[in-house]
Amino acid sequence: MMNVFFVGAGPGDPELITVKGQRLLGQADIIIYAGSLVNPALLSLAKNGAAIYNSASMTLDEVIAVVEQGVKENKLVVRLHTGDPSIYGAIQEQMDKLAGKSIAFEVIPGVSSFLATAAALKQEYTLPDVSQTVIITRLEGRTPVPEKEKLVKLASHEATMCIFLSVHMLDNVVKELIDGGYPAETPVAIVQKASWPDQKIYRGALKTIAQIARENNIDRTAMIVVGKVLDTNYALSRLYAPEFGHMFREAK
Ligand code: SAH
């Protein structure tokens, strides 16, 4: 029987967890959730008597020990991660430890915050003639970023960029992006706490956004989006053009 599930909690709004994730949360005997970014409202889905752990104060080995003990007692364990667990979720090390102990598990995906950010902005990231690529990245912090992936190098593509974990280093973000090739006028949006009740949206350009962020004290959970897609000029999608046939519709 499958007893261990890594579940994506979604970006904040408790209705943005998957149906499967919601069901598992309600059935779990043990829930280990990832600290401050998981909306506590999700924990109210837990059944009476479920044991709830905040992993923010736990080491990797402590987390694994709780999972292992739960499995021994044939309990259902949910490891709840913010957004989608595959993005900056530090789940690989957990999964590898479990695999090393021959503990089976499954991963239930979630709505990542960069997608909730697009929804908040009412923005498509992939506009014809503007950008067909989304780069998900971060500025180096305590976690190193490989040399070839430094912002200054990625910037040369001028693609749509979603930058996690970096809003507190916005001056450096801006410098690297401009040094790397984005014009200083390139539009930027910052969405703080996308999908939460206190969600906030700030818009500017590379050359103005650091000042805007300072004036508004943006230093918490926020996504930086950069790219010309945030401007309004783009070519219409070929998908719905009358003369453009495809598998499900003949050209006129
Ligand atoms: N696995 C998560 C990301 C965890 S890293 C996901 O898929 O979204 C934490 C970073 O995610 C934060 O520093 C911030 O950049 C971003 N983030 C998480 N939740 C957010 C939200 N509701 N709104 C904006 N950014 C968010």
pLDDT digits (tens, 9 = 90+) for 61-105: 999 999 999 999 999 999 999 999 999 999 999 999 999 999 999
Q: Is 82 in the pocket of ligand 1 (CB under 6 A)?
A: yes
Q: Is residue 83 within 8 Å of residue 77, measured between CB atoms?
A: no
pLDDT value at 241 more than 70 = yes
Instruction: State the pLDDT confidence band at 249, using cuts at 50, 70 and 90.
Output: confident
The verdict on the CB of residue 202 being under 6 Å from ligand 1 is no
Within-domain flag for 252: no
Distance 223 CA to ligand 1 centre (A): 7
Q: Are residues 221 and 157 in the same domain?
A: yes
Question: For residues 176 and 173, what is the distance between their CA atoms, to the nearest angstrom?
Answer: 5
For 210, phi then psi, to 5°, come to -65, -40
The CATH number for 91's domain is: 3.40.1010.10
Dist CA 249 CA 239 (whole Å): 10
> What is the per-residue pLDDT across 199-237, written as a single tens digit (0 to 9) for each?
999 999 999 999 999 999 998 899 999 999 999 766 677
DSSP 49: T
98/27 same-domain check: yes
* Mean pLDDT over each residue of the chain, to the nearest integer: 94
Number of domains composing the chain? 2
Burial 61-74 (b: 16+ CB within 10 A, else e): eebbebbbebbeee
162: part of which helix (H) or strand (E)?
Answer: strand 160-164
- What is the 11 CA–ligand 1 centroid distance (Å)? 7
Q: Indicate whether 73 and 138 sit together in one domain.
A: no
Rounded to whole angstroms, how far apart are CA atoms 98 and 64?
Answer: 7
Distance from chain centroid for Cα 166: 13
In a domain, 152, yes or no: yes
The CATH number that applies at residue 147 is 3.30.950.10
Decide which of 53, 75, 108 is a domain's last residue.
Answer: 108
> Residue 143 falls within a domain, yes or no?
yes
Place 37 in a pLDDT band, splitting at 50, 70 and 90.
confident
Q: Which domain holds residue 53?
A: 4-108
Answer whether 131 contacts ligand 1 (Cβ < 6 A).
Answer: no
Q: Which of 108, 123, 155 is the last residue of a domain?
A: 108
Q: Indicate whether 96 and 119 sit together in one domain.
A: no
Distance in angstroms (rounded) separating the CA atoms of residues 119 and 135: 17
Q: How many A from CA of 14 to the centre of ligand 1?
A: 15
pTM for this predicted structure: 0.93
Helix (H, G, I), strand (E, B) or coil at 180: helix
Residue 204 lies in a domain: yes
